[in-house]
Amino acid sequence: MEGLKRGAGTTSRQAGSRRPRTARTPDNVDVVGDMICSQEDAPGTHRTVRQISRETRIPKSSVVRIIHNDL
């Protein structure tokens, strides 16, 4: 362990060392947007976030994030 100093390291991560984010891809944003917009011509009906999540297999938290941040 010669040459390694414990406690003197850096807390920054190398580029690409994190888990890649895959839920908010442009394709998923389009799918969620289409599901929400498909309800506009049918008043009185709606899909819940849980239903959209179940049908698209996108986590509920990601569906909410797509709705609030991307649409």
pLDDT in tens, 5-37: 555 666 777 887 888 778 899 999 999 999 888
The per-residue pLDDT for 65 is 94
Does residue 19 form part of some domain?
A: no
In the Cβ-directed half-sphere of 21, how many Cα atoms lie within 13 Å?
7
Does residue 21 form part of some domain?
A: no
φ/ψ bin of 41: left (φ > 0), alpha (ψ from -120 to 50), beta (otherwise): alpha
Does residue 39 form part of some domain?
A: yes
The parent domain of residue 42 ranges over 26-70
Cα 16–chain centre separation:
18
The total of structural domains in the chain comes to 1
Does residue 14 form part of some domain?
A: no
What's the mean pLDDT in 38-45? 75
The per-residue pLDDT for 64 is 95
pTM of the model: 0.67
Does residue 58 form part of some domain?
A: yes
